[in-house]
Structure 1
């Protein structure tokens, strides 16, 4: 990503936000850069994916809404088929301020993500640590990302981690570190190892010592309760974020302890080398 526009005020270390609404309001007030009413979305698109890795018994589907603002692409994952086809038409040419008040949550999140990514790209000035992903198959790259994400929790075996948004590679990385987990996903079902997947994350918070959550929680309304619980009880909350990769670092110090940020294009789109960005946590590189 290139540097923010010259008109943007210095904002490499803005104070943390204590709610999504507070963050959106600060953007609308110009706290992070130019008036969002002057920033227009040039391109809107969706990405749909179905995957079943070699050696895995099951597969899954992804759908992501992405909005391009200058050189930045903000994204929000949605449940496959849930986004109306006309949604992208309402985004093209619209200013960010208008989209931050859009009726559809994924549009609001993708617009905020695009704006913040343009103003605060993932650089060392913003607190990000780049972590290369080597070229490889989708499973190899998934496992490499998982090692980086799990590394943000730190080397403390024996703890129980609530994993919100089941990715089998992440569960595999936790298992290799001697960490127990409760797997949670709105889809339910079972993990690759036949373990039940619970569907209500909030009901299982008290039995877990730390939380590892997908950025998709921004879109389904569960992020704020997770953040508030972590802040109130002093628990680790590590986010792995394709959705809201530029949003979630703004909550470091306000409940979020670490973020693995992965803006578009995501690791599953390309077999070549890639890059993720780590914030906070106990990161020591892949095991």
Structure 2
């Protein structure tokens, strides 16, 4: 796996490497052919609450890069602005979601999810939306190496993840910028970094790339030697680049996501154990 070295260990440092063509073709030579959004609302059977997703995706050759946004936050013009634009231009776009999706598409193109780049495929069986959600959660939580009773900061509240943590006798502090409460009326904190000091490990959504909260959490994990496991639909090809630089493991899930159909799918597990991983 291509890892970041020296002083360029930040998200901005990774963008600089891509801009310079240090990881593959110069981004100015590659153009996005297709841009689209995916909007979803869901309430699983047996659950009392639901949620919405909105994702911007960019197609670069065979690769699709994605960034989730708050529903309704992405202007319609963003899709048109991306089509036909080169990646270098999109990495300078004023919208963070466009910049993240463009970086993700580029890295998916040059460093796809293969064993040579540190990925281990994990099959998701066909099933209902809830069955697939729980199967993904089991894979994600399986990347944490913690004893019973440890406390996990969960950034990006997913009820199936909370269930999976409880099944392992792990405590958790749920966190989301919107605050609120979980399915079980547990309070959701809004400030992840403020809560991180009370936790033994961090379980974090890739959405933090798009809202600017990833870097402070990565630096906290690195400074305090804590596990930082990422579950990534947003930035699935971006986050594995930070293995060994604060990120301990990634469950990468590129488009199409598990919630789009009931058929079989695949996740990509990065934990540094696969040849090429973590270097």
How high is the TM-score relative to the length of structure 1?
0.93
Partner in structure 2 of residue 190 of structure 1? 181
Task: Report the Cα distance in structure 2 between the residues aligned to 1:35 and 1:214, rounded to whole angstroms.
Answer: 29
RMSD: 1.3
How many Å apart are 1:210 and its aligned residue? 0.3
Task: Report the Cα distance in structure 1 between the residues aligned to 2:56 and 2:131, rounded to whole angstroms.
Answer: 25
Q: Does 1:13 align with 2:11?
A: no
Task: Report the Cα distance in structure 1 between the residues aligned to 2:3 and 2:48, rounded to whole angstroms.
Answer: 44
Mapped contact 2:152–2:173 kept (Cα < 8 A) = yes
Mapped contact 1:214–1:239 kept (Cα < 8 A) = yes
How many Å apart are 1:277 and its aligned residue? 0.2
Partner in structure 2 of residue 37 of structure 1? 28
Task: Report the Cα distance in structure 2 between the residues aligned to 1:54 and 1:94, rounded to whole angstroms.
Answer: 42
Q: Does 1:250 align with 2:234?
A: no
How many Å apart are 1:124 and its aligned residue? 0.3
Q: Does 1:203 align with 2:202?
A: no
How many Å apart are 1:76 and its aligned residue? 0.1
Q: Does 1:91 align with 2:82?
A: yes
Q: Which runs of 5+ in 1 are unaligned?
A: 1-11
Partner in structure 2 of residue 6 of structure 1? none
Task: Report the Cα distance in structure 1 between the residues aligned to 2:145 and 2:260, rounded to whole angstroms.
Answer: 29
Task: Report the Cα distance in structure 1 between the residues aligned to 2:86 and 2:140, rounded to whole angstroms.
Answer: 34
Mapped contact 2:253–2:268 kept (Cα < 8 A) = yes
Partner in structure 2 of residue 165 of structure 1? 156
Q: Assess, with a 3 A threshold, how the Cα gap between structure 1 residues 225 and 155 changes in structure 2: closer, same or farther.
A: closer
Partner in structure 2 of residue 24 of structure 1? 15
Q: Does 1:225 align with 2:201?
A: no
- The secondary structure found in structure 1 opposite 2:92 is coil
- The secondary structure found in structure 2 opposite 1:207 is coil
How many Å apart are 1:281 and its aligned residue? 6.8
How many Å apart are 1:14 and its aligned residue? 3.7
Mapped contact 1:76–1:106 kept (Cα < 8 A) = yes
Mapped contact 2:253–2:267 kept (Cα < 8 A) = yes
Task: Report the Cα distance in structure 2 between the residues aligned to 1:193 and 1:282, rounded to whole angstroms.
Answer: 36
How many Å apart are 1:190 and its aligned residue? 1.1
Mapped contact 1:73–1:117 kept (Cα < 8 A) = yes
Q: Which runs of 5+ in 2 are unaligned?
A: 275-279
Task: Report the Cα distance in structure 1 between the residues aligned to 2:180 and 2:72, rounded to whole angstroms.
Answer: 20
How many Å apart are 1:155 and its aligned residue? 4.7
Which 4+ stretches in 1 moved above 3 angstroms?
A: 12-17
Mapped contact 1:151–1:282 kept (Cα < 8 A) = no
Q: Does 1:131 align with 2:119?
A: no
How high is the TM-score relative to the length of structure 2?
0.95
How many Å apart are 1:144 and its aligned residue? 0.1
Question: For residues 163-222 of structure 1, what are the alpha-carbon distances to aligned partners after superposition, in whole Å with 9 as ceiling and x for unaligned?
Answer: 000000000000000100000011211111111111111110110000000000001111
Task: Report the Cα distance in structure 1 between the residues aligned to 2:24 and 2:144, rounded to whole angstroms.
Answer: 32
